[in-house]
C-alpha cells in the first residue's frame, strides 16, 4: 500500500492537558482504518492534528510525503476531506444546492460541470428533493449527508470521518456503507467511531487509543 499520512513521535496538549502521547502511525491510500477508544482518549484530536486544524506540541506529520508545516490549510484541504462530528460546523450556505456548489464556484468550475456534479451528489445521498431547501430545515442525518457530499465534491485523496453514522437511521447507514465501499477503491479513509458493527464491517485495520496513546493496531 502507498503511504499517505505519517505521524511520528507526536505529542499534543489542549488547555495544558496532555491529550496525545508519542503517537506513531502510518495511514495508506486505499486502506480503511478505524480509530476506536473511549471518550477522551484523543481520537478527534488525532484526526484534527493530522489535518493541521490543531497544532501539536512536538513531533512530525507528513501528508503525501510533505511535512505538514510546509502546507497551508487550504493545501491540506485539497488533499484531505475532514468530516466534523457536528456537521453544522461545515455547512454554511443558505440552501443545499448553494452549499454543495460553493467550492466548485470558488474554483471557477464551468456552470454545466457544477450542475452535473452537484446533481450526482444529490442523487448519491438522496437529497434531490431538498435541493432548494434551507440548511436550517434539515434533520441531523440530512446535514450529515450534505456535509459528506460537500467533502466528496472537492475530490480529496484521503477522508477523515469523525462519527459519520451519528443521526443516521439504518437505511441511511446502509447507504453510507455502500458509498464508502465504493470510495475505498480510490481514496484512503480514517473512520473515528464508537459504532462497533460499522467499524468491523469496513475496516482493514483497527487502531485503538487509550489515554492518548496507541495501545493496539491490528488487521481486521
How confident is the model at residue 195, as a pLDDT?
94
126-164 tens-digit pLDDT: 899 999 999 999 988 889 889 999 999 988 999 999 999
**Against a cut of 0.75, is the pTM above it?**
yes
1 pLDDT exceeds 70? no
Domain that holds residue 151: 3-219
Residue whose grid cell is 513531533:
59
The residue-averaged pLDDT of 196-212 equals: 96
User: Domain holding 10: CATH number?
Assistant: 3.40.50.300
Model confidence band, residue 175 (pLDDT cutoffs 50, 70, 90): confident
Bridge-based pairing state of the strands 80-83 and 158-162: parallel
Number of domains composing the chain: 1
Distance between the two ends of the chain, CA-based, in angstroms? 16
Amino acid at each position: 500500500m502507498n503511504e499517505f499520512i505519517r505521524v511520528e513521535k507526536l505529542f499534543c496538549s489542549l488547555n495544558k492537558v496532555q491529550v496525545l502521547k508519542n503517537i506513531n502511525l502510518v495511514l495508506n491510500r486505499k486502506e480503511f482504518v478505524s480509530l476506536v477508544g473511549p471518550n477522551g482518549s484523543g481520537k478527534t484530536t488525532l484526526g484534527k492534528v493530522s489535518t493541521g486544524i490543531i497544532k501539536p506540541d512536538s513531533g512530525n506529520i507528513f501528508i503525501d510525503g510533505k511535512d505538514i508545516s510546509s502546507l497551508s490549510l487550504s493545501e491540506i484541504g485539497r488533499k484531505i476531506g475532514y468530516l466534523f462530528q457536528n456537521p453544522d460546523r461545515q455547512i454554511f450556505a443558505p440552501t443545499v444546492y448553494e452549499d454543495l456548489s460553493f467550492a466548485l464556484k470558488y474554483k471557477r468550475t464551468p456552470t454545466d460541470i457544477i450542475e452535473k456534479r452537484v446533481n450526482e451528489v444529490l442523487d448519491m445521498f438522496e437529497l434531490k428533493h431538498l435541493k432548494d431547501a434551507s440548511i436550517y430545515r434539515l434533520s441531523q442525518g440530512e446535514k450529515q449527508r450534505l456535509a459528506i457530499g460537500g467533502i466528496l465534491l472537492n475530490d480529496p485523496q484521503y477522508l477523515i470521518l469523525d462519527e459519520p453514522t451519528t443521526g443516521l437511521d439504518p437505511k441511511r447507514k446502509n447507504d453510507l456503507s455502500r458509498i464508502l465501499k465504493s470510495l475505498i477503491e480510490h481514496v484512503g479513509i480514517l473512520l473515528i467511531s464508537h459504532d462497533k458493527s460499522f467499524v468491523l464491517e469496513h475496516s482493514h485495520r483497527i487502531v485503538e487509543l487509550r489515554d492518548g496513546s496507541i495501545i493496539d493496531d491490528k488487521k481486521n
